Amino acid sequence: MGYSSAPVIVEFHDCVELSRVKVNTFESLTVQLLTEEAKSEALQFLAVRPAHTVLLDGFLRENGVDSPFNRGKFYVCRDRQGGIRGIALIGHYVLIETSHNDAIKAFARLARTEPKLRLIMGEAHKIDCLWSHYLSEGSVPYSRERELLLEQRWPVEALPDVPGLRLSRLEDLDLVAAAHASVAADERGANLLEVDPVGFVKRCARRISSSPRLTRVRFSPTSGTRSATVASATRSRSS
């Protein structure tokens, strides 16, 4: 299947009782690029709802404010007193955290100017709001998916070890990249080893070398290679 430039919208639906924040209107907001000096403040803002902001938090902690591995730019939305009202990563992805309609509108306008946008991901009610603003300047082709948002809470049942399951190593890079590319092709219709072979393999290698906890690979002589990835780990509010 050929690579499509149409954005994919993935909306999250809570399957456990998690806090939901009503989208409010708030005037006099400003949006600017997130700076290194404001990184700690941004992380504190994201820590209020760790289960919902795990991807934003993970990108910011693992890659920093300005990194090609983020595949986009971090933006911060502030009120007239300087308080943070929203955080967004806009580029290849659109990921947002805010409870204010005006902030969502501003993020949607920025997303509309991003030529590399491929994936919009977030809570269903916020994505509905963002997408309505995004389409205010004209319709675009897109596909839409729904996924359940799962949260692991302690205590968790202790499970036996899985034979053949281990942390991946750099010598497994070709197998890990191929497994992840296969999943992406099934879900998005794009083989990333063909679309962006250099960048995709670099990102896989970086995950293995800098954060080995993120990727695990299971080898099976009968079923081939299977890969499971944890995008990022949530952190407690006190961390």
Task: Look at 151 and 99; give whichever has higher pLDDT.
Answer: 99
Among the residue ranges 6-15, 37-46, 60-69, 177-186, the one predicted with the least confidence is 6-15
pLDDT tens column, 203-222? 888 878 776 544 445 544 44
Establish how many alpha carbons lie within 13 A of residue 189's alpha carbon, considering only the half-sphere containing its beta carbon: 12
Confidence band for 13, pLDDT divided at 50, 70 and 90: very low
Quick one: pLDDT at residue 38? 96
Query: At residue 178, does pLDDT exceed 80?
Result: yes
User: What CA–CA distances, in Å, run from 239 to 36, 60, 230?
Assistant: 19, 15, 19
Neighbours of 221 (CB within 10 A): 6
What is the SS3 string spanning 79-94? CCCCCEEEEEEEECEE
Among the residue ranges 22-26, 110-114, 172-176, the one predicted with the least confidence is 22-26
pLDDT tens column, 73-131? 999 999 989 999 999 999 988 999 999 989 999 999 999 888 888 888 888 889 889 98
Quick one: pLDDT at residue 141? 64
Confidence band for 18, pLDDT divided at 50, 70 and 90: very low
Mean pLDDT (the chain) is: 76
Quick one: pLDDT at residue 221? 44
User: What CA–CA distances, in Å, run from 54 to 9, 11, 50, 60, 161?
Assistant: 18, 15, 6, 10, 26
Domains and CATH numbers, the chain: 8-149 (3.40.630), 165-229 (no CATH)
User: What CA–CA distances, in Å, run from 206 to 66, 69, 201?
Assistant: 16, 9, 9
Please state the length of the chain: 239
Task: Tell me how far apart the alpha carbons of residues 155 and 63 are, in angstroms, rounded to a whole number.
Answer: 31
**Percent of the chain scored above 90 by pLDDT?**
25
